[in-house]
Amino acid sequence: MADEAFTGIEGELGITSACRLTGRSRATHYRRLQPPASRQAPRPTGPARAPQVQPAALGAEERAAVVELMNSSEYAELPPAQIWARELDAGRYHCSVSTMYRILREKGQSGERRRQATHPAKTVPELVAAAPSQVFTWDITKAAGPDKGIWYDAYVVIDIFSRYIVGHTVERAETAERAEELIRETSTRNGIVLDTVHADRGTSMTSKKVSQMLIDLGVTRSHSRPKVSNDNPYSEAQFKTTKYMADYPERFDSLAHAREWFDTFIAYYNHEHRHSGIGFHTPASVHFHTADEVRDQRAATLAKAYARHPERFSRRPRPPEIPTQAWINDPAKRREPTPQTS
Q: What is the dihedral of CA 205, 207, 208, 211, to 10 degrees?
A: 10
Q: Are 199 and 232 in contact (CB under 8 A)?
A: yes
Q: Which of 189, 198, 124 is nearest to 161 (CA)?
A: 198
Rounded to an integer, what distance in angstroms lies between the CA atom of residue 166 and that of residue 158?
A: 6
Q: Is the pTM of this model over 0.85?
A: no
Which range (96-100, 140-144, 168-172) has the least confidence?
96-100
Given a cut of 80, whether residue 130 has pLDDT beyond it is yes
Rounded to an integer, what distance in angstroms lies between the CA atom of residue 264 and that of residue 271?
A: 11
Given a cut of 60, whether residue 161 has pLDDT beyond it is yes
Count Cβ atoms below 10 Å from residue 305 Cβ, excluding itself. Answer: 13
- For range 50-61, the mean pLDDT: 75
Beta strands 151-159 and 135-144: pairing type? antiparallel
Given a cut of 50, whether residue 338 has pLDDT beyond it is no
- For range 300-313, the mean pLDDT: 92
Which of the four pLDDT bands, split at 50, 70 and 90, describes residue 121? low
Q: What is the widest separation between alpha-carbon atoms in the chain?
A: 118
Q: Which of 282, 10, 313, 12 is nearest to 162 (CA)?
A: 282
Three-state secondary structure call for residue 87? helix
Given a cut of 50, whether residue 57 has pLDDT beyond it is yes
Q: Which residues pair with 151 in a beta bridge?
A: 144
Which range (31-45, 173-187, 194-208, 288-302) has the least confidence?
31-45
- For range 32-41, the mean pLDDT: 64
Rounded to an integer, what distance in angstroms lies between the CA atom of residue 126 and that of residue 286?
A: 22
In the prediction, which pLDDT does 187 show? 81
Rounded to an integer, what distance in angstroms lies between the CA atom of residue 19 and that of residue 261?
A: 94
Which range (87-91, 99-103, 161-165) has the least confidence?
87-91
What DSSP letter does each residue of 248-274 carry, written as one string? --SS-SSHHHHHHHHHHHHHHHHHTPP
Please say whether the dihedral angle defined by the alpha carbons of residues 79, 80, 86 and 89, taken in this order, is positive or negative.
Answer: negative
What stretches of 140-275 show up as alpha helix (H) in DSSP?
Answer: 176-188, 208-217, 233-243, 255-271
In the prediction, which pLDDT does 69 show? 92
Which of the four pLDDT bands, split at 50, 70 and 90, describes residue 135? very high
Residues with Cβ within 8 Å of 38's Cβ and at least 6 positions away in sequence, in order, are none
- Domains of the chain plus CATH, in order, are 3-33 (no CATH), 60-106 (no CATH), 127-283 (3.30.420.10)
Amino acid at 166: V
What stretches of the chain show up as alpha helix (H) in DSSP?
Answer: 3-13, 15-22, 26-33, 60-70, 80-89, 97-106, 176-188, 208-217, 233-243, 255-271, 283-287, 291-308
Which range (49-53, 215-219, 251-255, 318-322) has the least confidence?
49-53
